[in-house]
Structure 1
Amino acid sequence: MRVMDVLVCTSKDQTAWRDALAARLPAARVHAGPDAPPCDYAVLWKPPGDLFAHQPRLKAMFSLGAGVNGLLAMQELPRDVPLVRMEGAGMGPQMVEYALHAALRELRGFGGYADAQAAACWNPGHARARRDLTVGVLGLGVLGGAVACALADFGFDVVGWSRTPRTLEGVDCLHGNDGLDAVLGRSRLLVMCLPLTPDTDTLLDATRLARLPAGAAIVNIARGELIDDAALLTALDAGHIGAAYLDVFRDEPLPPSHPYWRHPRVIVTPHIAALTDVHAACDQVADKIRCLEAGLPISGVVERDRGY
């Protein structure tokens, strides 16, 4: 019986990923790097394009990130091999924490208190109930759904939007173009949890930014390409958008000259809203490989025409 071969090819921490996966698949040969022999499965994060020319027998490919737009954009990616996205793997709770931080900062006016401190101004605000802050969540998949439900459980008024109908307890779920407009019109805080697809690229443009209530805040913990940067900066300068919490950007690392770094109403973080946990991710990949080897179905297979 032929021994199964698994390839791990990542842009960082490759040895740690290989060792963690090998511990979970003791009967397999787990290889690291693009020079591996032909393998049955590939576990990938930002692989070199010429990798696939040397991997003719792949049964499935696993992305180590929740988003797969980078892999799908590769011309060399085999079109006849299933691509499997990461589902959760410790990222959900981290995204909840990030969104909750922004929601509490907006609810309690902590940004205003930071400005007051800089001006040595003692200016107490008024108490607000959590239900007074409506949070819109765009994207209700595994991660976006977790964010929406957690914020609702914490007492915020939450309205969510997805491409197709969804039902989440405690969340007013809308869908379609009319649903998107309705969510934007209600959201004092808008959290972006959408995958990047041709339909979502620059979704938040000047027209849609204008539909948000005056003074609304935006949180982007999905992909930088979802937002028209120039339109957002214009809306921030005009005061229509009160704050932007940005963790993802079109160009990463964010160039030092980018105006986001110095804008007084922008909070920049370096793509840390949801970091993949090595052990949780390898548990998931190993379980799915075992299912595939047994001829069982798995979740997370990317529908390439949708982009997720």
Structure 2
Amino acid sequence: MALYEVPFASANGRDEIKAWIYTPATIRPRGIVQLVHGLGEHSRRYLHLIATLLEHGYVVAADDHAGHGATAMASGIWQDAGEHGDKVVVEDERRLREIVTERFPDLPYILFGHSWGSMIARALSATHPEGLAGAIYCGPVAHMRGLEDPAVEQALDTAIAERGGEALDTDGLSALMFVGVNERYGDGVPPTAWVALDEGVVADHAIDPYNNFGAPMTLRFAKSFCTLYRRCNGTAWAESMPTDLPVLILAGDQDPVGNYGEGAYALANDLWAAGLRDVRTRVWTGVRHEVHNEPTTRAEVETEVLAFVGRFAREG
């Protein structure tokens, strides 16, 4: 494997986005997969998937979003992407894709977005689909209880009007977006029990300093999360998608941010109604949010991913 650091200026005019391109060492590249990580994490949490893709000949591009991971470690600013953060994070992923395709101009390009990253990928798929071979939405945030409640966004608007968007969410308003996420898992569970069934995955998520779990969001970041959620769900989003784009949706039926599997099927149904016919949905029974990290499903998820990207791969 060869690893290239490709930092670039964020669209927010403040951050330098830390980004990397992983390339297979002994296999001629067959395609490119851009990994778009989720909320409160970073791109190295996908190393198992990255290693699998490299082994099969794929270039992998990934970054740590504004307010996250190595980017936040350098800036000291966590859980904030600047003004209009919903647009910033999408534009930053577009810029990373531009950097990668400048180096590898002739390879098929596939987006893989998990959780919040699936929201970013869904928005990017709709606004900049040119040259995109396919898209994978993993652990999609859809039909999520807290985000479906208009009172949450109204409360954020009120707080922003009173204190400004850069103020930290000291009132816990962002927690309303995640209301009830652990209610099916019993009493006394860790705050991120909803992430995975495996206790080791949950514990690792909690102690990882590049996750910085518990860092408060700014009010404007929480608002941007709500804005992006509306932008990448529903009929209007689906109808903005190119009808010839192949899509793979991966989820667990015990994942609260996807309404226990229903959100994944809702995305697929919206895409079908909008005219997309190459849509595959795989929902694992008894599995929570990180189907790609859960030890019992990780191999099957990677098999699904390899089968999907293999459809577009260049012959070695």
**TM-score, length of structure 2 as denominator length:** 0.31
**TM-score, length of structure 1 as denominator length:** 0.31
